[in-house]
Amino acid sequence: MPKPAGRPARLCHFLYALSAVIVLHDGIGLTAARADNPGELFIDPGAQRLGKSAITGQSAGQADVVPAADAPPAADAPRLSWAMLAVLENSHLSHLSHLSADGGQLPFSRLNYLDPIIQHALEFKLTPSLGLYALSQVRSFAPGDRNRALRDIDGQLLNLFLAWRPDGPTGDQTVFAGKFDAGVGEGWHRMDGIYSGFSADYQYQGALGAGARQQWQGEWGQGALTAIAFKRDHGVLRDTWRRDHPQVRADTDDSGLGKTPGLRSAGLAWEVKDMPAAPGWRLAGDVAHLAQGRAGARAMDAASLTADYGVDLGHDCGLRVFGEMVMADGFGGQSVRARHATLSVSLASGRTVWTLTSARRAMWATSGNLAAQGIDSALDRGLAAAVTYVTSGGPILQGGVLRQQAQGIALTQFTLRAIFSFSS
């Protein structure tokens, strides 16, 4: 992230990021991946094959929001499909404190948020090979440094892009262009539970750009390679619908990582899954370069490696283990190296999923020291536990607790969610 301007601004930004736990991670990204979190929608042009809709959203191991068996035939075009999530979330932050004695005193020790989140995704198949995709979100844009309940609700367009398969709807090539999500690693959109570590710091929502994906199917398994060129959106497509908000204005500053006049940032990702020699395993990785739009500041080069393992334990039980390492040089556009590791274990039993997630990030200054660059601590860490229950014909219920120490601030967060999904 760009260098914060002083402690109060840094604190507000940190609390705001914590309060916005559910975020739509729904674009191409630097990886060809799917969404596992029940509180999000995901649009992936690479999934639109064999009649399957590109709009998906996992519900604690259940079927996609638009199941492949229920989707119209791929040759049926024009066709409009949609999916919607309605979420009511209550978050309570307590034990807020500075980790250092000279860090000053926070003006509060407890905060409570009650937020609605509505996400709506559209897939319009113009022809069997060409589709138009859009994703919007309505949520609270109120500051995160005070209690709030259903305040400052506004909407925002997150994705709007075209995807084309040159060889038809069952082809292995996809070309896409428009406004989509980009990010390093996958934790920011594939983690179960309520916590994805610090992976949101490597995600760039609603980027503008173009890309292509090639998929293969062989005896060794299924693979995919994705390449994109992009810039961060700081124009009119980033605006909220009702009025301006300080958080959005700060994020649409016309300088910083990825905020360049042209498509000067790029990423290359690979994925291997469905391997007969390693059943249950999925491996992925990517490399990325984020150009710098601020004069005199550093660009960021990053790489990630992801391992995802799932196994059926029988008796309606399953185990999933997700591990990821992200390495960034020039983190936040500064002379800083960062190493971020996340490990998550989920145990599913019937309609219930139990998830335990741990995250750790270490940072080093490559020039000067961390404090001079607005970084309060060299080590950030967090631990979260969550339970998700899929009711029969009703909402998905989710709750959990997080203990985190990051950038000089320690806190405990309790979260409760009710998630309703609709599709056509």
Q: What is the pLDDT of residues 309-321, one digit of tens each?
A: 999 999 999 999 9
> Lowest-confidence range among 45-59, 109-123, 237-251?
45-59
State the pLDDT at residue 244: 84
Over residues 134-163, mean pLDDT: 91
State the pLDDT at residue 38: 75
CA 70 vs. chain centroid, Å, equals 27
In the predicted structure, residue 178 carries a pLDDT above the cut 60: yes
Over residues 315-338, mean pLDDT: 94
Mean pLDDT of the chain: 81
Question: Residue 253's closest CA among 230, 277, 235?
Answer: 235
State the pLDDT at residue 75: 56
Is 404 within 8 Å of 381 (Cβ atoms)?
yes
Q: What is the pLDDT of residues 340-354, one digit of tens each?
A: 999 999 999 999 999
How far apart are alpha carbons 49 and 39 in whole angstroms?
24
In the predicted structure, residue 32 carries a pLDDT above the cut 50: no
pLDDT band (50, 70, 90) for residue 269: very high
Comparing 287 with 17, the larger pLDDT belongs to: 287
Neighbours of 280 (CB within 10 A): 16
What is the end-to-end Cα distance of the chain in Å, rounded? 38
Locate 175 and state its tokens: 């070309």
Facing residues of 343 across strands? 323, 358
Cα–Cα distance list, 114 to 28, 297, 329, 357 (Å): 30, 38, 37, 24
State the pLDDT at residue 107: 64
Amino acid at 194: I
Comparing 174 with 35, the larger pLDDT belongs to: 174
Q: What is the pLDDT of residues 120-146, one digit of tens each?
A: 999 999 998 999 999 999 999 988 888
Tell me yes or no: is domain 7-423 CATH 2.40.160.10.
yes
Comparing 221 with 66, the larger pLDDT belongs to: 221
For the chain, give the percent of residues with pLDDT over 70.
Answer: 79
Is 121 within 8 Å of 73 (Cβ atoms)?
no
Q: What is the pLDDT of residues 211-249, one digit of tens each?
A: 999 999 989 999 999 999 999 987 778 888 988 887 776
State the pLDDT at residue 45: 54
Question: Residue 423's closest CA among 123, 104, 6?
Answer: 123
How far apart are alpha carbons 321 and 306 in whole angstroms?
11
Is 231 within 8 Å of 265 (Cβ atoms)?
yes
Amino acid at 219: E
Over residues 172-176, mean pLDDT: 91
How far apart are alpha carbons 301 and 287 in whole angstroms?
8
Locate 292 and state its tokens: 């710098």
Q: Where are the domains of the chain?
A: 7-423
Q: What is the pLDDT of residues 394-424, one digit of tens each?
A: 899 999 999 999 988 899 999 999 999 888 7
State the pLDDT at residue 56: 44
